[in-house]
Structure 1
């Protein structure tokens, strides 16, 4: 069975409570539940991880490398726009990486328009709320199977 890790970044534990205009009212737990349902349909395993600590995220990316995960999904939140440390950790991976954003980062504040991960990820999905996660999972599975 293909194994994928879903990395949730800073402040994502507050989904459902923070800025419902941008992020809706869905909670992180509900997002993870939706991912698990789709993973079962697609015949893959998804492990979800969330942290508010950049070093912990870096360590989990390293762990994904050593565990030979088949793909990585990441919504790094604000780290997307400035964390060269996470970018360098992601660059170690040799599997498809899909960058996710619930909101359309290109329709928001100027600083959110740039991703330091953009040149090393397979692709980005943004602006579709919780469906961004589900689309990203489908894209990762397609990339693993080379059916894109």
Structure 2
């Protein structure tokens, strides 16, 4: 049985391709899902891919990952990065390896985006590589959990 990873996406990421393409590019969330699925498959991993604009729903997905004994989580919490203690607490209680991902380099943006609650629970942070950062994050998570490229 293959290990399962969760790839979780926060608010407004359902608008990729429409939202500020000069910052986020023209790829859609469906493009991100395909990229993540292809990358996970290269490492023999199953993937659960989800997006929500609702903080509590993201917390539920994180708790589900623990209860279903996922191998790890890649999360782009979007704006909740900077505000959500609830997401931090949920990630911490999972005791799973977490990779935080951002499409843009948040440190080149507005000062309020420089702080991340999520980073306190993350093994690593990937920022500024566009959607390719998701593939890099999955590759890094695969290394952490011992999944080998097929």
Structure 2 alignment gaps of length 5 or more: none
Once the two structures are superposed, residues 2-44 of structure 1 have per-residue CA deviations (whole angstroms, 9 ceiling, x without a partner) of 1100001000000000011110000000100011111111111
Which residue of 2 is the match for residue 106 of structure 1?
A: 107
Counterparts in 2 of 1:1-148, with a 5 A limit? 1-145=2-146
Question: How far off its partner does 1:146 sit?
Answer: 8.6
Runs of 4 or more above 4 Å deviation:
none
Query: Structure 2: how far apart are the matches of 1:62 and 1:100?
Result: 19
Q: Is the 8 A contact 2:17 2:26 kept in 1?
A: yes
Q: Is the 8 A contact 2:44 2:147 kept in 1?
A: no
Q: Is the 8 A contact 2:88 2:120 kept in 1?
A: no
TM-score, length-scaled by structure 1? 0.96
Q: RMSD over aligned Cα, in angstroms?
A: 1.2
Once the two structures are superposed, residues 60-80 of structure 1 have per-residue CA deviations (whole angstroms, 9 ceiling, x without a partner) of 111111000000000000000
The number of residues matched between the two structures is: 147
TM-score, length-scaled by structure 2? 0.95
